C-alpha cells in the first residue's frame, strides 16, 4: 500500500498544476501497489473541485485510481497531537503519517520534503 499526500493527488487531478506531470508520473510508476489516503487528506484534495463545481468528477477520478480511504481510528486525536508535537508538522501532514502507520504502508508519496523527512524518521519510506 502507498499512502499519497494531498500535494500529489491535487497536482495529478489538475492539469494546470505546476507539479501535474511529476505527480502523474509518480502515480503511474507506483501503480502496481494500491493507493490510500486519510479521510482528512481526501477532504483537502476535494476542496478545490468542490469550489469549482467538479466534486463528483474528482471523486470519480480518485475512485478510478483505486484510492482507498483510511480512517484514523478512535485514538487519532491523541496520536495526531503527539505527532504534531514531535515533528512540528502541520496537522494535515500528521494525518498523512498516521494514515501510513495505520495502513502499514510500504511507501509514502509527497512533494513536501519536511513531511518525507519526518516520515523517514519514523521508519516510513
Predicted TM-score of the model (pTM): 0.92
What CATH code is carried by the domain that includes residue 30? 3.40.50.1010
Range of the domain at 45: 2-119
Cα–Cα nearest to 90, from 1, 5, 3: 5
Residue 124 resides in a domain: no
Residue 125 lies in a domain: no
The answer to the question of residue 43 being in a domain is yes
Write out the chain's pLDDT in tens, 125 residues. 999 999 999 999 999 999 999 999 999 999 899 999 999 999 999 999 999 999 999 999 999 999 999 999 889 999 999 999 999 999 999 999 999 999 999 899 999 999 999 999 988 87
> So what's the pLDDT on residue 92?
95
Report yes or no on 107 lying in a domain. Answer: yes
The answer to whether the CB of 68 falls within 8 A of the CB of 60 is no
Q: And the C-alpha cell for 89?
A: 508538522
The full DSSP string for 67-122 is PEEE---TTHHHHHHHHHHHH---HHHHHHHHHHHHTT-SEEE-S-HHHHHHHHHT
Asked whether residue 28 is domain-assigned, the answer is: yes
- Asked if residue 85 is part of any domain, the answer here is yes
How many domains are contained in the chain?
A: 1
Longest dimension (CA), the chain: 39
Kindly state whether residue 33 falls inside one of the protein's structural domains. yes
CA distance 98 to 112: 16
Amino acid at each position: 500500500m502507498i499512502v499519497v499526500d494531498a500535494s500529489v493527488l491535487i497536482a495529478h487531478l489538475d492539469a494546470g498544476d505546476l507539479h501535474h506531470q511529476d505527480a502523474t508520473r509518480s502515480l503511474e510508476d507506483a501503480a502496481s501497489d494500491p493507493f490510500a489516503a486519510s479521510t482528512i487528506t481526501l477532504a483537502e484534495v476535494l476542496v478545490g473541485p468542490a469550489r469549482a463545481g467538479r466534486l463528483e468528477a474528482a471523486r470519480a477520478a480518485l475512485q478510478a485510481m483505486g484510492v482507498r480511504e483510511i480512517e484514523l481510528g478512535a485514538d487519532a486525536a491523541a496520536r495526531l497531537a503527539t505527532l504534531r508535537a514531535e515533528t512540528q508538522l502541520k496537522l494535515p501532514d500528521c494525518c498523512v503519517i498516521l494514515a501510513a502507520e495505520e495502513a502499514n504502508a510500504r511507501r509514502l508519496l509527497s512533494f513536501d520534503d519536511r513531511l518525507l523527512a519526518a516520515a523517514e524518521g519514523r521508519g516510513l519510506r
